[in-house]
Amino acid sequence: MGTRRPSSLSHVLLGGGLVGLAAGAGSLALETEGRAGIGRAAAVVAIATGMRRAREPVAGDHWGGCHDARSAGTAPIYRGEPGFDDRMDGDGDGVACEPIRD
């Protein structure tokens, strides 16, 4: 038996859905509150994926180790920032407490 190919109707519906999604997001971006909402949602995703810190380092930061820095939401910490410690920069690249990769 061969595999069943999606009908052209499903392609049209899928395409229409994608166009609608793009138009909806675009119309949100036209309003100040819509842009703010998009920005908040993007920040949540960026923090969840490790692309952004939940908390910027502040003067006086001192961490017992990377677990503490990550728990506080301030990792990764770059050389020159409060809380940076060479002992937490395992590969010596100037970035301490880098995201854990699987």
pLDDT at 2 over 60: no
The predicted structure's pLDDT at residue 78: 94
pLDDT band of residue 88 (cuts 50, 70, 90) is very high
Query: Which residue type sits at 53?
Result: R
Tens of pLDDT, residue by residue over 5-51, are: 556 776 677 777 777 666 666 665 566 776 777 778 887 887 787 77
What does the domain layout of the chain look like in residue ranges?
9-52, 56-102
How far from 15 is each of 8, 24, 29, 76, 92, CA to CA, in Å?
Answer: 10, 14, 21, 40, 48
Tens of pLDDT, residue by residue over 51-69, are: 788 899 999 999 999 999 9
pLDDT band of residue 1 (cuts 50, 70, 90) is low
31 token code pair: 């309003």
Whole-model pTM: value is: 0.56
